[in-house]
Structure 1
């Protein structure tokens, strides 16, 4: 899917989160929500996330790490132990409705919560995160992987194109706001 020529295996370890890491899951999410384009990238505010009880973060980490879970969060851990970035993939089943109420036509992965710390951007790390997330979706029988990106978030759109995603032509209104839209990007399984 992506070319990671600028990364070495010594730079980062990309792996699924573990249940006991919920405080770091929370910390990285709060950091992501302070990013200058967070209002375009995430459907919650810093204040909403910060107000959530620890039990919410514990459940999020536990459910992501559970065997057979319908969602998995992957992180990139730098050599010093810092979590440099994260991506989460949800499995959407054919015949069900997605978060926006649209019918899911085939089993697919849905990428959410993409974030890379600014000091770790531009080196191919996002490709390594997507490689892990997409491989996980393929292992679960997904026929394609999709994501939604704000129409004005050019930085993210460029990153998604670099890792092999392309616009599907589907545009959906931003949740709760009829004046803004999100564009669907997809990666179809070729083998």
Structure 2
């Protein structure tokens, strides 16, 4: 059985951050899993990826966790963004209380069902709960209406549908799931 190390990305790993994101966007599930296309991501500059790794490697605003296999390959990732009270979220909806927002969930097909997704989510949620000033009382994510596999995992992990949905430009809906601090 493969042993993975789940850890936060480091600032100098921007090339690996980019490579894993491009692999995620090549996945057949990408159209219902991500709001970005492969073409958009491929068009981004090295500076964009450097900034992304820097922002997700330290501080309070975001943290990206990766699952690194014994061979050094990154087999999955998840990112938590902190949405501060009084700001607007990605969908331009006012944020009523400081919260975590899980994005960029990806596990390579050969690792799905192995427990790797649980390990990534555990690290991400533990990091979110560790924040102070103010502490996060909930972590949320959105799941595409056609992504039943992901929705089932989120429910198993403890997330519950909030009843809130966002309509995408395509006409499809993204459903909000929430995990409340216990």
Higher relative contact order (Cα pairs below 8 Å, separated by 6+ residues)? 1
2:143 to 132, 149, 153: 149
Q: Flag structure 1 segments of 5+ consecutive residues without an equivalent.
A: 1-6
Query: After the TM superposition, which of the residue ranges 93-102 and 38-47 deviates more from structure 2?
Result: 93-102
Which residue in the other structure is 1:87 paired with?
Answer: 78
**Per-residue CA shift, 1:11-57, capped at 9, x if unaligned?**
11100000111111000000000111101111111111011111111
Q: CA deviation at 1:122?
A: 0.2
Which residue in the other structure is 1:112 paired with?
Answer: 103
Which residue in the other structure is 1:173 paired with?
Answer: 167
Q: CA deviation at 1:107?
A: 1.2
Find the aligned partners of 1:33 and 1:106 in 2 and give their Cα distance. 31
Find the aligned partners of 1:92 and 1:44 in 2 and give their Cα distance. 20
Contact 1:173 1:181 in 2 (8 A): yes
Misfit runs of 4+, over 2 Å = none
SS at 1:96 equivalent: coil
Aligned ranges for residues 44-59 of structure 1 at < 5 Å?
44-59=36-51
Q: CA deviation at 1:69?
A: 3.4
TM-score, normalized by length of structure 2?
0.94
CA RMSD in angstroms comes to 1.2
Find the aligned partners of 2:92 and 2:43 in 1 and give their Cα distance. 27
TM-score, normalized by length of structure 1?
0.90
Are residues 1:11 and 2:3 paired? yes
Q: How many residues align?
A: 179
Which residue in the other structure is 1:4 paired with?
Answer: none
Aligned ranges for residues 22-171 of structure 1 at < 5 Å?
22-66=14-58, 68-140=59-131, 141-171=135-165
Q: Flag structure 2 segments of 5+ consecutive residues without an equivalent.
A: none
